[in-house]
Structure 1
Amino acid sequence: MNFTLPYEQYLDIYRYKYLALYHALRAAILDGTLPGGTRLPSTRKLAGLYQLSRGSASQVYDMLLADGYIRTERGRGAFVSEGGFLGDDDEGHDAGSGAGGTGNSGNAESGGSAGSAGSAGSAGISAPEGDSLFGSWSGEAGCSVLRNGGRSEADASDRIRAPGGGSTCWGLSGVAGSSVPWNGGGSETEAGSASTLVSVEWTAEGVSGYGNRPAAAGPVKLSAWGERLMERQLTVYEKTGVGSVSFRSSGMQAGQFPYAEWRSALNYAGGKQGGLLDSYCPPQGDEGLRRSIAAHLRITRGIRAEAGQIVLFSGSMQGIMILTQLLLEQGSSAVVEDPGYHGIRRAVEISGGRLLPGRVDAEGLVPEDWEARLLFVTPSRQFPTGAVLPLERRRRLLEWARRHEAVIIEDDYDSEFRWGGRPIEPLKALDREERVVYVGSFSNSMFFGLRVGFAVLPPSLAAPVIAAKALYEPLPAGQLEQRALARFMSTGGYGRHLRRMTRIYGERAQLLRTLLAERLGDVFEVLPGDAGLHLYARWLRSDAEFAAFRAAALRRGTDFRDAVLYRIRPGSAAACFSFAHLDAAALEEGVSRLLQAWNDVQNLS
Structure 2
Amino acid sequence: MNFILPYEQYLDIYHYKYLALYHALRTAILGGTLPGGTRLPSTRKLAELYQLSRGSASQVYDMLLADGYIRTERGRGTFVSEGGFLGGDDERPDAGSLAFVRPGVERDSYGESGGSVLKVSGGSGAGGNGNAGSAGNAGNSGNAGNAGSAESAESGGSAGISAPEGDRVFGRWPGEAGCSVLRNGGGSEADAADGIRASGEGRECRGLSGVAGGAVPWNGGGSEKDVGGSVTWNGDGSETETGGSVPWNGDGSGSDAGGASTLVSGGMTAEGVLGYGNRPAAAAPITLSSWGERLMERQLTVYGQVGDGLISFRSSGMQAGQFPYAEWRSALNYAGGKRGGLLNSYCPPQGDEGLRRAIAAHLGITRGIRAGAGQIVLFSGSMQGIVILTQLLLEQGSCAVVEDPGYHGIRRAVEISGGKLLPGRVDAEGLVPEDWAARLLFVTPSRQFPTGAVLPLERRRRLLDWARRHEAVIIEDDYDSEFRWGGRPIEPLKALDREERVVYVGSFSNSMFFGLRVGFAVLPPSLVAPVTAAKALYEPLPAGQLEQRALARFMGTGGYSRHLRRMTRIYGERAQLLRKLLTAQLGDVLEVLPGDAGLHLYARWLRSDAEFSAFRAAALRRGTDFRDAALYRIRPSSAAACFSFAHLDAAALEEGVNRLLHAWKDVQNRS
Output the TM-score relative to the length of structure 1: 0.65
1:380 equivalent among 440, 446, 449: 446
**Structure 1 CA distance for aligned equivalents of residues 596 and 448 of structure 2:** 12
CA offset at residue 476 of structure 1? 0.2
Alignment match, 1:445: 511
Unaligned stretches of 5+ residues in structure 1: 1-31, 34-203, 207-212
Counterpart of 1:273, as a letter, is R
**Structure 1 CA distance for aligned equivalents of residues 425 and 648 of structure 2:** 32
- Asked if 1:510 is matched to 2:576, the reply is yes
Alignment match, 2:313: 247
Alignment match, 1:95: none
Structure having the higher Rg: 1
- Asked if 1:539 is matched to 2:605, the reply is yes
- Asked if 1:483 is matched to 2:549, the reply is yes
**Structure 1 CA distance for aligned equivalents of residues 594 and 309 of structure 2:** 30
**Structure 2 CA distance for aligned equivalents of residues 318 and 358 of structure 1:** 23
**Structure 1 CA distance for aligned equivalents of residues 326 and 304 of structure 2:** 30
CA offset at residue 422 of structure 1? 1.1
1:284 equivalent among 350, 367, 389: 350
**Structure 2 CA distance for aligned equivalents of residues 420 and 395 of structure 1:** 24
The CA RMSD measured in Å over matched residues stands at: 1.6
Q: How does 1:332-411 map to 2 (within 5 A)?
A: 332-411=398-477
**Structure 1 CA distance for aligned equivalents of residues 463 and 516 of structure 2:** 32
**Structure 1 CA distance for aligned equivalents of residues 436 and 280 of structure 2:** 54
Q: How does 1:82-121 map to 2 (within 5 A)?
A: none
CA offset at residue 217 of structure 1? 2.1
Question: Does the 8 Å contact 1:334/1:373 carry over to 2?
Answer: yes
Question: Does the 8 Å contact 1:378/1:411 carry over to 2?
Answer: yes
CA offset at residue 205 of structure 1? 12
Counterpart of 2:545, as a letter, is Q
Alignment match, 1:599: 665
Question: Does the 8 Å contact 1:408/1:437 carry over to 2?
Answer: yes
Q: Secondary structure of 1:254's partner?
A: coil
Output the TM-score relative to the length of structure 2: 0.58
Alignment match, 1:300: 366
- Asked if 1:568 is matched to 2:610, the reply is no
- Asked if 1:268 is matched to 2:334, the reply is yes
Runs of 4+ displaced beyond 4 Å: none
Question: Does the 8 Å contact 1:310/1:454 carry over to 2?
Answer: yes
Alignment match, 2:124: none
1:227 equivalent among 277, 281, 293: 293
- Asked if 1:578 is matched to 2:644, the reply is yes
Alignment match, 1:549: 615
Alignment match, 2:385: 319
CA offset at residue 424 of structure 1? 2.1
CA offset at residue 567 of structure 1? 0.2
Q: Secondary structure of 1:481's partner?
A: helix
Judging changes above 3 Å, is the alpha-carbon distance between structure 1 residues 338 and 205 closer, same or farther for their aligned structure 2 residues?
A: closer
1:421 equivalent among 484, 487, 493: 487
**Structure 2 CA distance for aligned equivalents of residues 513 and 319 of structure 1:** 33
Judging changes above 3 Å, is the alpha-carbon distance between structure 1 residues 495 and 218 closer, same or farther for their aligned structure 2 residues?
A: same
Q: Deviations over 1:26-76 (max 9, x none)?
A: xxxxxx99xxxxxxxxxxxxxxxxxxxxxxxxxxxxxxxxxxxxxxxxxxx
Q: Secondary structure of 2:459's partner?
A: helix
**Structure 2 CA distance for aligned equivalents of residues 215 and 494 of structure 1:** 54
- Asked if 1:590 is matched to 2:664, the reply is no
**Structure 1 CA distance for aligned equivalents of residues 281 and 609 of structure 2:** 48
**Identity between Structure 1 and Structure 2 (%):** 90
**Structure 1 CA distance for aligned equivalents of residues 328 and 523 of structure 2:** 28
**Structure 1 CA distance for aligned equivalents of residues 302 and 284 of structure 2:** 29
Q: Deviations over 1:503-556 (max 9, x none)?
A: 000000000000000000000000000000000000000000000000000000
**Structure 1 CA distance for aligned equivalents of residues 419 and 610 of structure 2:** 34
Alignment match, 2:184: none
**Structure 1 CA distance for aligned equivalents of residues 301 and 438 of structure 2:** 29
**Structure 2 CA distance for aligned equivalents of residues 538 and 258 of structure 1:** 36
Larger helix fraction of residues: 1
**Structure 2 CA distance for aligned equivalents of residues 524 and 238 of structure 1:** 27
**Structure 2 CA distance for aligned equivalents of residues 385 and 419 of structure 1:** 17
Alignment match, 1:472: 538
**Structure 2 CA distance for aligned equivalents of residues 271 and 335 of structure 1:** 46
Alignment match, 1:462: 528
Unaligned stretches of 5+ residues in structure 2: 1-250, 253-275
Q: Secondary structure of 2:638's partner?
A: coil
CA offset at residue 216 of structure 1? 3.4
Alignment match, 1:13: none
Q: How does 1:149-188 map to 2 (within 5 A)?
A: none
Question: Does the 8 Å contact 1:438/1:455 carry over to 2?
Answer: yes
Q: Secondary structure of 1:466's partner?
A: helix
**Structure 1 CA distance for aligned equivalents of residues 281 and 437 of structure 2:** 51
CA offset at residue 215 of structure 1? 6.3
Counterpart of 1:299, as a letter, is I
